[in-house]
């Protein structure tokens, strides 16, 4: 069960501040894209996200994107020129390990931020990364997504209960 629990759960990515990462000794931050940094239909990062990432950049963090979405989506979004991997197949750990290699970081000083427990958090936790879960910006209305969120719910509830207790 502990591999499904994030270290932090926030309403949005902006709550994951440079100070918070610094306190945890983080040097590299790997981000999921869809619903973590931008809704599916936004091809480019908005101003707020650009400012957020540039603040992390300036604070000295090494940044990467690891997305299960396709090449075109990821490359178009990555106007920053960060290391970015697509078709990552999360919860497979492979793409995240590869991103750490590129960043020159280790599981002890790398954070992973995503919106899905069964792909993002599960992959990150099994590698021993510091994991931040955020509320999805805007879910697709498909049955598949609704089902996924429904399955996440009991885990999220037990995590929140544990956090309170």
- The residue from 34, 125, 148, 152 that contacts Mg ion (CB under 5 A) is 34
In whole angstroms, how close is the CB of 108 to Mg ion at the nearest point?
24
In whole angstroms, how close is the CB of 124 to Mg ion at the nearest point?
12
CB nearer to Mg ion: give 35 or 109: 35
- The residue from 26, 27, 35, 90 that contacts Mg ion (CB under 5 A) is 35
- Residue 32 binds to Mg ion (criterion: CB under 5 A): yes
Stretch that binds Mg ion, among 4-12, 45-53, 73-81, 107-115 (CB under 5 A): 107-115
CB nearer to Mg ion: give 106 or 118: 118
Applying the rule CB under 5 A, the residues between 45 and 104 that interact with Mg ion are none
Spatial separation of the C-alpha atoms in residues 33 and 74, rounded to whole Å: 8
In whole angstroms, how close is the CB of 134 to Mg ion at the nearest point?
9
Applying the rule CB under 5 A, the residues between 123 and 142 that interact with Mg ion are none
In degrees and rounded to multiples of 5, residue 12 shows phi and psi of -155, 170
In whole angstroms, how close is the CB of 148 to Mg ion at the nearest point?
11
Q: What is the DSSP string of the chain?
A: -GGG--SEEESSGGGS-HHHHHHTT--EEEE--BTTTB-TT--S--HHHHHHHHHHHHTT-EEEEE-SS-HHHHHHH-TT--EEE-S--TTSSHHHHHHHHHHT--GGGEEEEES-IIIIIHHHHHTT-EEEEE--SS---SHHHHHHHHHHHHHHHHHHHHHH-
In whole angstroms, how close is the CB of 111 to Mg ion at the nearest point?
15
Query: Where do contacts with Mg ion occur on this chain (CB under 5 A)?
Result: 32, 34-35, 115
């Amino acid at each position: 069960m502990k591999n499904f629990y994030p270290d932090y759960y926030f309403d949005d990515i902006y709550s994951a501040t440079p100070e918070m990462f610094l306190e945890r000794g983080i040097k590299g931050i790997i981000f999921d894209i869809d619903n973590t940094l931008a809704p599916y239909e936004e091809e480019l990062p908005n101003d707020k996200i650009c400012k957020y990432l540039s603040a992390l950049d300036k604070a000295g963090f090494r940044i990467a994107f690891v997305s299960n979405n396709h090449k075109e989506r990821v490359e178009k979004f990555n106007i920053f020129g960060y290391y970015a991997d697509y078709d990552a197949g999360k919860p497979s750990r492979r793409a995240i390990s590869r991103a750490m290699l590129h960043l020159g970081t280790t599981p002890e000083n790398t954070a992973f931020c995503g919106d899905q427990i069964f792909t993002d958090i599960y992959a990150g936790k099994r590698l021993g990364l510091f994991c931040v879960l955020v509320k999805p910006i805007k879910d697709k209305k498909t049955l598949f997504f609704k089902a996924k969120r429904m399955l996440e719910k009991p885990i999220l509830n037990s995590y929140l209960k544990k956090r309170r207790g």
